[in-house]
Structure 1
Amino acid sequence: MRIIDPFTRLPIKINPPRIIIFSYLSVILLGTILLSLPIATQGEGSTGFLNALFTATSAVCVTGLIVVNTASHWSLFGQITILILIQIGGLGFMTLSTLGFMLVGKRITFSERLLIKEDIGNLTYSGLVRLVRYVLALTFTVEAAGAFLLFLSFQNQMETMRAIWFAIFHAVSAFCNAGFDIFGNSLEAFTGDAGINLIFTSLIIIGGLGFTVIRDLMGNVKGKKFSFRMLSLHSKMVILITVLLLVIGSVLVFAFEFTNSATMGDLAITDKLTASFFLSVTPRTAGFNTVPTGALNVNTLFLLIILMFIGASPCSTGGGIKTTTLGAIVTNVVSFLRGDDDYNVLERRLNKEIIDRAVAIVFISAVIVILSTIILSITESAEFIDVLFESVSAFGTVGLSTGITGGLSRPGRLMIILTMLTGRIGPLTLVISLGNINSAKKSFRYAQEDIMIG
């Protein structure tokens, strides 16, 4: 990729996707080394390279799939290492690097701005440093507030220092949509605790909306009455799709699991509503669960697979194909059915390049999930729905599992590691990094010929 530096007017040759991938691989490798140390485990000896690699990848990719129990296997050193990896993965490597540059007074070059734009998925180069400052301030503020509220809830259940550590760990894990827990059974002990559920879901939703949307929302209400119409098209689409998915997910989960005694069947009606809402929030790449995931009905598992594949929103801590990608695909279909030449949505017109990008993301993502599922179906002896669920959970960086993760074979674990990494980096970024895609227009066009479809 050849780009002109606007500051020096000199050409620079850089492949941002490859550098981003190399950065994440470097962090994962460092995390693997640290988690392989005997000091990282509670028992004697080390964890082993593959298990440490799996855990480090899951943490950096903010997934939450685990092959060893985080609470009982890892020591305080190991848990702190995991927490740092989650924070790096949630914010993005270049965001934290920019923080380091700002602390030492280093000027942010255009090449570094290019990497920041690629890492956080922003549309333009303008205001990137300001956006990074906002991302950092918002992240640490929300995580601190979440930790404080969780501490107030935990302090009556455990000693003070333990409550502080549990509050910090789970606040960061929830906001970064990581799904790691140090309770040992996720949040199954808090199924009917409305306060804990509200804190976790709030952190997950805020982290999954996207930093640009939150900034747009806060800027819209600052000093004046809130107006939805004044928001950007991106923010409108993210909010509408997010609300729609949460409502539909909650209603369907409530209906599907209403009589399932292994999950919600024996709960009071208010607890069923709370659990249903939580279960519609957590597949949006968070990975926590308040009811046993492996005991869910097949139709509920399939619903969660759809929600996990969609995931969170761009410029957020979540994964998946993203809500706006879904919105662009739906806009494309609606425009075709109406016979419109333009892609109109919410009184705005989308660029055809956005539609093409959305189609490419969905197609590549589906291929990745299909390949992962096929390979796991060969290497593992689990049911197909469990294997498909595991693959989508890894790709969407969700972390929910029906319980097969710990029993995966070595090839299966390696496949999930690759799937998690692909999901965190982004399918389109990965494809671009592997090839030499030239964005320049061709000087010729081939003759047109039609084919039959449908």
Structure 2
Amino acid sequence: MLKHWRRFRWSPPRILAAGFAVIIFLGAVLLSMPFASRDGSGTPFIDSLFTATSATCVTGLISVDTGSHYSTIGHLIIIFLIQIGGLGFMTVATLFAFMLRKKISFKERLVLQEAMNQGSIEGIVRLVRKVLLYSLTIEAVGAVLFTIRWSFDMPLAKAIFFGCWHAISMFNNAGFDLFGQFGTPFVSFTAYTSDPLVNLVTMGLIILGGLGFIVLSDIIEYRVKRKLSLHSKIVLTMTAALILIGAIVTYCFEFSNPHTLGALSWDGKIWAAFFQSVSPRTAGANTVDLSSLRQATQFFMVVLMFIGASPGSTGGGIKTTTFATLIGAVITMIRGREDIVMFKMRLGRERILKALTITMLALALVIVVTMLLTVTEDKPFLHLLFETTSAFGTVGLSLGVSPELTLLGKVLVCLTMFAGRLGPLTLAYALGSTTDKELYRYPEGKITIG
């Protein structure tokens, strides 16, 4: 009994889940304190919990405006949670597991290996070093560029703070911003819709944060190795395709909409189309009013948010590699072939089953939460579906539903963000029991499909 309890408590997926829960709770307590709010009156615990969950899960959904509601101390707490959520999810939790010196079974090693996107347990330390180096370097460059641009709009000290804060938020795909303190809450980057530098830096940080550290390492070491792994090839191909397709669809649907792209110049339309294509993968920032988008565009964003970023990144969703595997399975079946082949390499059966499992679990989560929200909230169905998918994909884009959620609605969205950041499969491992490998197989049966 004691042995079983120890295994339950210290398995890697459960350590990740428990670690996230503790960080979120501590963050919620701190954000509810009077010193964390601008007026010193404190914040209701449910709103503090909502913000802490969103920050730690690098989502960006908020029930109170970050810039205007929280004080400088509150902003520092939030950005610390964002950094821990994006960076610490793959470093601190893993290092914590090793510091405990607990024995990890083969099955649990596979879960940890999958969470870190590493080929073996020995490579985790090297990956942690790369995560730290790449993250701090990219965030520093983004902070300098943001500071230079915003030094023309605000005092230098504030421009530096804004530059560092938003560089961390955007690279970690969190979507939090501080622009609400200038008068209008929940405005995000709408004041910079046609600004080339802000658009380029923000999109660059989002894309780099969403590629994953394995891919970044492959790109940086390409000059030496002169080759990319299959994983990197699929991620880069799918990322480029989704961004381009998303921009084209957004441009076509919103070109004549006077409330979004219709009122912009031709170059502003292009910037806005690409930004709204990059952001749903899973950044949460926006440069146009999302509630004014046509329903076709909003629904297309739901699809992009569901797909999300890439494995081993700061983003969520089912991941680009999962989506690519599903597309490959469909094409293979249509062609009447047995193997899914990408870049002249065959995918193993376990990869396909894992992709199907992740997709079905994610789809079930989004459907169930959306159905429950239709009972607790008096909002249009598409708005609730948008909010739920945004929470699952840890995106942070909103049609204005989050600030008006009921208590139960906020709890549901918090749980969805938590599940989305951990990943549905990792969460299933965390909640499930540890079982031994099957020693026998049942005879094969036949059923009719299609």
Maintained 8 Å contact 2:8/2:433? no
Deviation at 1:439, TM superposition (A): 5.9
In structure 2, the partner of 1:442 is: 439
In structure 2, the partner of 1:5 is: none
* Residue 356 (structure 2) aligned to one of 359, 383, 389: 359
User: How far apart are the structure 2 equivalents of 1:107 and 1:296?
Assistant: 50
1:68-111 per-residue CA deviation (whole Å, 9 max, x = no partner) reads 00011000010000000000000134513667999xxx898875
* Residue 296 (structure 2) aligned to one of 291, 295, 299: 299
- Compare 319-328 and 14-23 and name the one that shifted more: 14-23
In structure 2, the partner of 1:4 is: none
SS in 2 for 1:180: coil
In structure 2, the partner of 1:82 is: 78
Give the residue type in structure 2 aligned to 1:132: V
SS in 2 for 1:86: helix
In structure 2, the partner of 1:212 is: 214
1:189-213 per-residue CA deviation (whole Å, 9 max, x = no partner) reads 0001011000000000000000000
In structure 1, the partner of 2:412 is: 415
Matched, 1:266 2:263: yes
1:330-365 per-residue CA deviation (whole Å, 9 max, x = no partner) reads 111122122222221110011100000000000000
Alignment of 1:177-326 (within 5 A): 177-184=173-180, 185-222=187-224, 230-326=227-323
Deviation at 1:437, TM superposition (A): 5.0
In structure 1, the partner of 2:159 is: 163
1:85-144 per-residue CA deviation (whole Å, 9 max, x = no partner) reads 000000134513667999xxx898875995864543434213110110010010000000
SS in 2 for 1:288: coil
1:350-387 per-residue CA deviation (whole Å, 9 max, x = no partner) reads 11000000000000000000001001111111111100
- Compare 352-361 and 339-348 and name the one that shifted more: 339-348
SS in 1 for 2:397: coil
Matched, 1:26 2:14: no
Give the residue type in structure 2 aligned to 1:89: G
Give the residue type in structure 2 aligned to 1:248: I
TM-score (norm 1): 0.92
Maintained 8 Å contact 2:16/2:93? no
- Compare 301-310 and 113-122 and name the one that shifted more: 113-122
Alignment of 1:350-389 (within 5 A): 350-389=347-386
Give the residue type in structure 2 aligned to 1:208: G
Call closer, same or farther: CA 1:111–1:155 in 2, change over 3 Å: farther
SS in 1 for 2:147: helix
Maintained 8 Å contact 1:17/1:118? no
User: How far apart are the structure 2 equivalents of 1:331 and 1:344?
Assistant: 7
Maintained 8 Å contact 2:357/2:425? yes
Paired positions, count: 436
Deviation at 1:441, TM superposition (A): 3.2
Matched, 1:73 2:69: yes
Maintained 8 Å contact 1:212/1:315? yes
SS in 1 for 2:280: coil
Maintained 8 Å contact 2:117/2:214? no
Give the residue type in structure 2 aligned to 1:266: A
Maintained 8 Å contact 1:66/1:406? yes
Deviation at 1:445, TM superposition (A): 1.4
Alignment of 1:23-102 (within 5 A): 23-93=19-89, 95-96=91-92
User: How far apart are the structure 2 equivalents of 1:40 and 1:409?
Assistant: 23
Matched, 1:136 2:138: no
SS in 1 for 2:369: helix
SS in 1 for 2:162: helix
Give % identity.
45
In structure 2, the partner of 1:152 is: 148
Maintained 8 Å contact 1:16/1:118? no
1:156-175 per-residue CA deviation (whole Å, 9 max, x = no partner) reads 11001111110011000000
In structure 2, the partner of 1:398 is: 395
1:265-324 per-residue CA deviation (whole Å, 9 max, x = no partner) reads 011001100100000000001000000111110000011000000000000000000000
Computed over aligned residues only, the root mean square deviation of the Cα atoms, in angstroms, reads 2.3
Maintained 8 Å contact 1:94/1:116? no
Maintained 8 Å contact 1:343/1:352? no
**Alignment gaps of 5+ in structure 2:** 1-6, 181-186
In structure 2, the partner of 1:3 is: none
Maintained 8 Å contact 1:98/1:108? no
- Compare 279-288 and 12-21 and name the one that shifted more: 12-21
- Compare 268-277 and 123-132 and name the one that shifted more: 123-132
Structure 1 residue runs of 4 or more that deviate by more than 6 Å after TM superposition: 98-102, 106-110
Maintained 8 Å contact 1:63/1:398? yes
User: How far apart are the structure 2 equivalents of 1:349 and 1:425?
Assistant: 28
SS in 1 for 2:341: strand
User: How far apart are the structure 2 equivalents of 1:12 and 1:42?
Assistant: 42
Call closer, same or farther: CA 1:108–1:168 in 2, change over 3 Å: farther
SS in 2 for 1:126: helix
